[in-house]
């Protein structure tokens, strides 16, 4: 097993700024003990493929970049450890459980279905294997992200966090928006609670200015990572960015499409502007 999380820190020293990006869903090192019955190519459709490549350059801007190397359907760092699907386990879960709609459609802490339909396993998961996934993957990811955010917050008195994701071009009957085409970008600040509103607006204005349609807090408003780290009253700001996959990839082939280079350039410009925004707050 390799490292569950990879951290790229800026090399510039004094140019460092309190800005952290993370990509929790771009990993694809499928652990041997997953024992899924679904072909790898189908499992891979749950990944935010290429998001680590599209955002991984930010260390040259003075920012920190973290990514998970393990796949999100094995264990999802963007879920709470209470998001346990109890009927998918072979025994009682020893901790607290929060039974949400997402969990029940198989997209909880450990996914059991692809897009709410296709079963990933032909067995119950053991309590011990879910606990192992938490201890060996989820927890190290959370510890690494916590440490970076805390370190920068104590140095600068503020920290800005971009939680990077991608979304399928269309919803489906199991998603909150139904089977409709989605905006180019969806920004999520959990209805204005996880970052300064002017930060969300700044990013939205940048993208709109480049001709993209941008939705805010619908159909995704941010999940566990921005919920946990976004406390604007403590000068800790977390914003989720969902990039529409049609802007950069063929969704079933998991290959880059013709728009990838252009989208990569726009995101590089956006991240440089975000770095300037943060510098302006110091
Ligand atoms: Zn994601």
Q: What is the pLDDT of residues 164-176, one digit of tens each?
A: 999 999 998 888 8
Q: What is the pLDDT of residues 151-204, one digit of tens each?
A: 999 999 999 999 999 999 999 888 889 999 999 999 999 999 999 999 999 999
Cα(13) to ligand 1 centroid in Å equals 30
CB 212 within 8 A of CB 182: no
Q: What is the pLDDT of residues 99-130, one digit of tens each?
A: 787 788 899 999 999 988 899 999 999 999 99
Q: In this structure, what DSSP letter does residue 239 have?
A: E
User: Which helix (H) or strand (E) covers residue 159, if one does?
Assistant: strand 159-167
Q: Is the pLDDT of residue 15 over 80?
A: no
Cα 239 from Cα 231, distance rounded (Å): 11
| Phi, psi values for residue 183, rounded to 5° | -60, 165
What the chain holds in terms of domains, given with CATH numbers, is 5-280 (3.40.630.40)
User: Which helix (H) or strand (E) covers residue 238, if one does?
Assistant: strand 236-244
Cα(9) to ligand 1 centroid in Å equals 22
Cα(48) to ligand 1 centroid in Å equals 5
Q: What percent of the chain has pLDDT over 70?
A: 98
Q: Is the pLDDT of residue 14 over 60?
A: no
Cα(167) to ligand 1 centroid in Å equals 7
Q: What percent of the chain has pLDDT over 90?
A: 92
pLDDT of 173:
84
- Mean pLDDT score, 33-52: 96
3-state secondary structure of 17: coil
Cα(101) to ligand 1 centroid in Å equals 17
Q: What is the pLDDT of residues 198-236, one digit of tens each?
A: 999 999 999 999 999 999 999 999 999 999 999 999 999
Cα(72) to ligand 1 centroid in Å equals 8
Going from the C-alpha of 126 to that of each of 72, 94, 103, 111, 278, the distances in angstroms are 18, 12, 17, 14, 45
Q: Please indicate, yes or no, whether the overall pTM of this predicted structure exceeds 0.85.
A: yes
pLDDT of 190:
98
Mean pLDDT of the chain: 95
């Amino acid at each position: 097993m390799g490292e569950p999380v990879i951290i790229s820190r800026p090399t510039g020293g004094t140019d460092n700024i309190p800005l952290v990006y993370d990509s929790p869903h771009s990993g694809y090192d499928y652990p041997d003990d997953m024992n899924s019955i679904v072909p790898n190519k189908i499992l891979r459709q749950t990944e935010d493929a290429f998001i680590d490549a599209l955002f991984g350059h930010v260390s040259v801007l003075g920012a920190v970049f973290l990514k998970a190397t393990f796949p999100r359907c094995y264990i999802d760092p963007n879920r709470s450890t209470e998001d346990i699907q109890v009927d998918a386990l072979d025994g009682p879960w020893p901790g607290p459980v929060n039974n949400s709609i997402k969990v029940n459609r198989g997209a909880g802490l450990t996914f059991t279905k692809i897009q709410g339909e296709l079963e990933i396993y032909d067995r119950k998961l053991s309590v011990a294997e879910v606990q192992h996934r938490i201890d060996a993957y989820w927890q190290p990811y959370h510890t690494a992200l916590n440490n970076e955010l805390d370190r920068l917050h104590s140095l600068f008195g503020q920290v800005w966090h971009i939680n990077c994701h991608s979304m399928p071009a269309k919803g489906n009957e199991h998603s909150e928006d139904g089977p409709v085409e989605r905006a180019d970008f969806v920004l999520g600040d959990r209805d204005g609670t996880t970052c300064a509103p002017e930060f969300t607006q700044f990013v939205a204005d940048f993208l709109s200015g480049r001709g993209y349609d941008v939705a805010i807090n619908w159909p995704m408003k941010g999940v566990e990572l921005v919920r946990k780290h976004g406390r604007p009253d403590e000068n800790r700001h977390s914003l989720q960015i969902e990039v529409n996959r049609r802007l950069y990839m063929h969704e079933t082939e998991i290959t880059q499409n013709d728009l990838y280079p252009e989208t990569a350039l726009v995101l590089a410009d956006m991240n440089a502007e975000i770095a300037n925004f943060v510098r302006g707050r110091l």
